[in-house]
Amino acid sequence: MTDVCRWDVPGRVNLIGEHLDYNGGPVLPMAIDRTVTVKARARDDGQVNVWSDLPGAAKASFPTTVQPGEVDGWATYAAGTIWALAERGHTVTGADLVLESRLPPGSGLSSSAATTCGIASALDDLFGLGLDRTTIALVGQHAESGFVGAPVGLMDQIAVLEGTAGHAVLIDTSETPHLTRPVELEWEEDGLVLVVIATGAHHSLADGEYAARREECERAAEELGLEWLAQAGLDATVRLEDETLKARTRHVLTETARVRGAVNAISRRAWPQLGTILTASHASLRDDFQVSCPELDVAVEAALEAGALGARMTGGGFGGSAIALTAPEQVQALRERVEARYLAHQWSRPEVMVVHAADGAHQVPN
């Protein structure tokens, strides 16, 4: 491709604050040093062509007037971005797009947000759309919710756009626009690393379960007379009658407290305390929010057995990845323990990788 614009956009790990971004709670994601690369070239014929290095992906083509339901599979994220830009009144005359990913497919590390925000950033450059990062985040969110059908919050888009090396991003999702501030992560200076265990289990936010959890939280907030469920008081679970809504609310309440505790522990470099918080978060997601799965539970258990200070699933759940905070010299033992447990269950081998907090989306000079 000639006259090509290239953007590298990281995936993200959410350290703590799962399923709080649509409940008005705080979240603490970090961009990671695994990226989606978007290469884009302008066209003027109203046509969009997309190529991807995803396994089994073939070239996809659609017009710039594409509408929901007209594209399916992996290309929905590209088509959704074109559609979302048009919905906001931005004109794209056509494009050739090449997508290259260093994120394991379906790993729950926000390859979707990296893809949509990367395409929007590249098209902004090519066509001079004048988009700021908040608008790019909103375009990415609208692509997923309005076109793909996954009613996501804004956490992932903000994380992949605003991440900085060595820091997480604390996001207050109750404010519009969301308030953010960097939180320095110093565990590597203290001899620890963050490990991602990509389970290989199916992960999709568009298959109904994610939307069901969101709807349950909205019902609970409505019954409690609240704008956001994260605003609930300690008596909330007593005031609710439905046991499912009680459990969902209990997770939101306790996870909100865990985010605040995690930020405090990080500021004091109290890593064992942070590990305990991570593990407690997983138990809440497994039992009260019911978004874990056997592969995630086994990954967490194996990581703890191998000496990790703490471990939890990360992302929307129903598959995807787990994270663990551990010493570098324990990574190989952790990998072997997880692989052995998976082999015993006759599951596919997981991918175990050390990740580092990285910068957000950025253009790469040609």
d(CA 178, CA 138): 11
- What is the chain's percent helix, strand, coil content, to nearest 5? 40, 25, 35
The residues pairing with 313 across neighbouring beta strands, listed in sequence order, are 322
The dihedral over CA atoms of 158, 159, 161, 164, expressed in degrees to the nearest 10, equals: 130
d(CA 68, CA 91): 18
Amino acid code (one letter) for 86: A
Cα 69 → chain centroid: 24
Whether 3 sits among the annotated catalytic residues: the reply is no
Q: Output DSSP code: residue 105.
A: T
Instruction: Please pick, among 8, 21, 156, 288, the residue that the annotation labels catalytic.
Output: 156
Alpha helix locations (H) across the chain?
Answer: 76-87, 111-127, 133-142, 155-162, 209-224, 236-239, 243-268, 271-287, 294-305, 331-344
Coil, helix or strand at residue 220:
helix
The residues that are catalytic are 156
